[in-house]
Structure 1
Amino acid sequence: MSTIDALLDEAGRTFADEGGIHLADQPAPLYRLLVLSVLLSRRVQAQLGTRAARELVGAGFGTPERMRDASWEDVVATLGRAKYTGTEQTTTALQEGARLVLDEWGGDLRRMRKAADGDPDKLREFLTAVPRLGPVGADIFLREVQAVWPEFRPHLDARALAGAGELGLPTDPATLAEQVSGDDLARLAAALVRADRDGDVREQVSG
């Protein structure tokens, strides 16, 4: 088995899937991916971010309308149940972000996709206008959304490429992307990020 195959088998679950998001080019799952990107952009364990995303959806806050209209205290409590840190500031950012998504994009991030017109820098500009979604969060969104927005493939950012380097794989995005089908790029990106973060993943894949 090749290193790429072993990596996909061991760690090739997207963070969206781990967060309970059945990603599709539809308003609700795309918004949930945006929320997950905000949660993961802070320096927290990925498991905390994905767990918080699951809690928010389970509590009924999985659309921008529901997030905007939710009680601030209820969102804080939901994040607290997931053991997420910085709950108050994050709640404020999520509710402000929901208002931005509704005001600027009519609650539908497919309009953001259309406006970006295949330009990742333009999409990144739109994304970083969302509160607490900086360049790291924009990269998270792009890594994951390439599963359903193929015009942004391949998106293998610095963290994914660092994981590739740790495993002795190509660190040129185009060369690395040639190792898998386009439909597997989001899974590969997630697996490479895990390899960068987790020595156990590297050992299992290389062993």
Structure 2
Amino acid sequence: MDADRAIARLLREHGRTYADEAGITLRDKPAPLYQLLVLTVLCSIRIRASTATAAARELFGAGMRTPRAMADSSWQARVDALGRAHYVRYDESTATALGEGATLVLDRYHGDLRRLREEASGEPERLRALLREVPRIGPVGAGIFCREAQAVWPELRPYFDERTLSTAAALDLPHTPAGLARHVPPKDLARLAAALVRAGLKGEAAEDLRAA
């Protein structure tokens, strides 16, 4: 299967972004960008992505969709929301991290992560460094945020981290960001990154693609 056909199949079968799975309609607006940050915090530990997205939906369903709402919520309310999604073992520490992160976003960026983008001055590495100042987010988490945020922040494109590039190489696809970007329009780059993550997590999906 040539690269164009393989990538088209990846997008068709696995190209749902994690933001979409978490119920986030991602736009360059304060609330959805903050919700993506919450999802990033939830994904930044060793836990199933489906559990993290379910936890995000529980938090948002409980009204914690903005940094102000998160900061004003009680620690126990955050723990309870995480518990409903079976986000166990890390529920208490994550509830603390979410509260501290909301306070940081309010104090430093006035609740608007577009100010973080402005502070980075269009430099992806600087943006990732700023993201790592948020409690719980390390290099991997910063990559998760950038993979998804490239849908609305063009300066991040094309963003494929080591995990996605490793999966691309295993599928005999181009395994550089520029090489992958040649096969999809800019609007589909975040979907392709998510599809590669999902295919990498589902070994049988990767085997099916290689065998096609």
Same fold? TM cut 0.5: yes
Counterparts of 1:92-111 in structure 2 under 5 Å? Answer: 92-111=96-115
What is the letter of the counterpart of residue 21 of structure 2?
E
What is the letter of the counterpart of residue 86 of structure 2?
K
- Alignment of 1:193 onto 2:197: yes
Distance 1:91 1:136 in 2: 20
Question: Residue 46 of structure 1 corresponds to which residue in structure 2?
Answer: 49
Q: Pick from 55, 69, 79: which aligns with 2:72?
A: 69
- Tell me how far 1:114 sits from its aligned partner: 1.1
Distance 2:199 2:86 in 1: 24
- Tell me how far 1:150 sits from its aligned partner: 0.7
Question: Residue 151 of structure 1 corresponds to which residue in structure 2?
Answer: 155
Q: Which runs of 5+ in 1 are unaligned?
A: none
TM-score by length of 1: 0.98
Distance 1:153 1:9 in 2: 21
> C-alpha deviations, 1:51-101, integer Å up to 9, x for none?
001110000011100110101111100000000021000000000000000
For the 8 Å contact 1:177–1:185, the answer to whether it is kept is yes
Counterparts of 1:159-178 in structure 2 under 5 Å? Answer: 159-178=163-182
Other structure's SS at 1:156 match: coil
- Alignment of 1:23 onto 2:26: yes
- Tell me how far 1:173 sits from its aligned partner: 1.3
> C-alpha deviations, 1:105-161, integer Å up to 9, x for none?
000001111111210110011100000000111000000000000111011000110
- How large is the RMSD of aligned CA atoms in angstroms? 1.0
- Tell me how far 1:200 sits from its aligned partner: 2.4
- Alignment of 1:3 onto 2:6: yes
Distance 2:56 2:204 in 1: 25
What is the letter of the counterpart of residue 27 of structure 1?
P
Q: Which runs of 5+ in 2 are unaligned?
A: none
What is the letter of the counterpart of residue 105 of structure 2?
V
Question: Residue 91 of structure 2 corresponds to which residue in structure 1?
Answer: 87
Q: How many residues get paired?
A: 207
Question: Residue 36 of structure 1 corresponds to which residue in structure 2?
Answer: 39
- Percent identity, aligned pairs only, is 57
> C-alpha deviations, 1:24-73, integer Å up to 9, x for none?
00000000000000111111010000000111000001110011010111
Question: Residue 137 of structure 1 corresponds to which residue in structure 2?
Answer: 141
Other structure's SS at 1:129 match: coil
- Tell me how far 1:204 sits from its aligned partner: 3.8
Other structure's SS at 2:111 match: coil
What is the letter of the counterpart of residue 146 of structure 2?
L
